Amino acid sequence: MRPWCSRWNCWRSVELSLPNLEDIRAQVRLALAEDLGTGDRTAALIPADAQSRVRVICRETAVICGVAWFDEVFRQLDPTISIDWRCRDSEMIAPDQLVCELSGNTRALLTGERTALNYLQTLSGTATLAKQYADAVAGTGVRILDTRKTLPGLRLQQKYAATCGGCHNHRIGLFDAVLIKENHIKAAGSVTAAVKLAQQLASDIEIEVEVESQDELEEALAAGARRILLDNFTLEALRQAVGRVQGQARLEASGGVTLGTIREIAETGVDDISVGALTKDVKAIDLSMRFFDA
């Protein structure tokens, strides 16, 4: 699977971008293998030539995300299946709204149902939560960033979903940026040593350093840091940091951020707020697929 950073402009103003089709095909192939194994024993109860029509209904307010993965599930099982979408990625839909209708081979529809819905409900859950966070800071100019706290195997999918909800991508992985955290600083010996080493070894990519106090902030600035993560700072400490830095570096607040606190954090004047909950605490959207008569 190819890194996406060249297309996503990581850590900056990320444009909503549908992932590469080859990546989606590979991801779906693994998901179907996980579920299908040696074959769908239950679908075999249905005549091989049976045809059906089904509807997918959303039972709650949600931001839809995952259309391409949903489509690819059925494309791999039976490319003759027809899917009529009534909404697209990043669109808000209401409870009991029709999401799409499918028609085609009954066995294939039954076999693909759970894998397709897993993608759609999980990614829509991520996108819906991302929109709630993005809406909470509307008008402040602050960007909400996702993190690497994603579900294993769904890193790229969830980061795409975060952008569908109006948030932005932090680094995609360990390969596309340097984030110097507490343990890196301890291993390197100091904030200064870690920043200087990063500047020497990774001058061509973004470098960010995490600090836990005003003293470490001063040290990071003196070392030439241009992006600083303020870890678990109080609101007053965040305001002090903003006043001290005055644009010398881009400031990111992180740690313990919730929907109830994020507006206050944004109003301290920081540039970015990273939220692990966007991709870590995922509540799947309630979707149902039901057969109906033609």
* Active centre residues (catalytic): 114, 149, 181, 210, 231
Quote the tokens at residue 220: 């990071």
Closest CA to 83 of 96, 69, 71: 71
Q: Do residues 194 and 180 touch, judged by C-beta distance below 8 A?
A: yes
Q: Do residues 115 and 35 touch, judged by C-beta distance below 8 A?
A: yes
Alpha helices by DSSP H, listed for the chain, are: 5-8, 21-36, 67-77, 106-136, 155-164, 182-188, 191-201, 214-222, 235-245, 262-266, 277-280
Residues whose CB is less than 8 angstroms from the CB of residue 11 and which lie 6 or more positions away in sequence, other chains included = 169, 170, 171, 177, 206
Residue 223's H or E segment, with its range, is none
Quote the tokens at residue 154: 């769904």
